[in-house]
A and B are shown apart, each in its own frame.
Chain A
Amino acid sequence: EPEVTQTPSHQVTQMGQEVILRCVPISNHLYFYWYRQILGQKVEFLVSFYNNEISEKSEIFDDQFSVERPDGSNFTLKIRSTKLEDSAMYFCASSEGGTGSTIQYFGAGTRLSVL
Chain B
Amino acid sequence: EDQVTQSPEALRLQEGESSSLNCSYTVSGLRGLFWYRQDPGKGPEFLFTLYSAGEEKEKERLKATLTKKESFLHITAPKPEDSATYLCAVRAASGGSYIPTFGRGTSLIVHP
Contacts and interface: CB of A to CB of B under 8 A. Distances in A.
Interface in A21-80: 41-45, 48, 56, 58
Contacts of B74: none
Interface in A69-115: 89, 91, 93, 98-109, 111
Contacts of A58: 99
B44 A43 contact: yes
B43 to A, nearest CB: 4
B105 A56 contact: no
B28 to A, nearest CB: 12
Contact of A98 (B42, B51, B98, B104): B98
A100 B91 CA distance: 5
Interface of A: 4, 6, 41-45, 48, 56, 58, 89, 91, 93, 98-109, 111
Interface of B: 31-32, 34, 36, 41-46, 49, 51, 87, 89, 91-93, 97-105
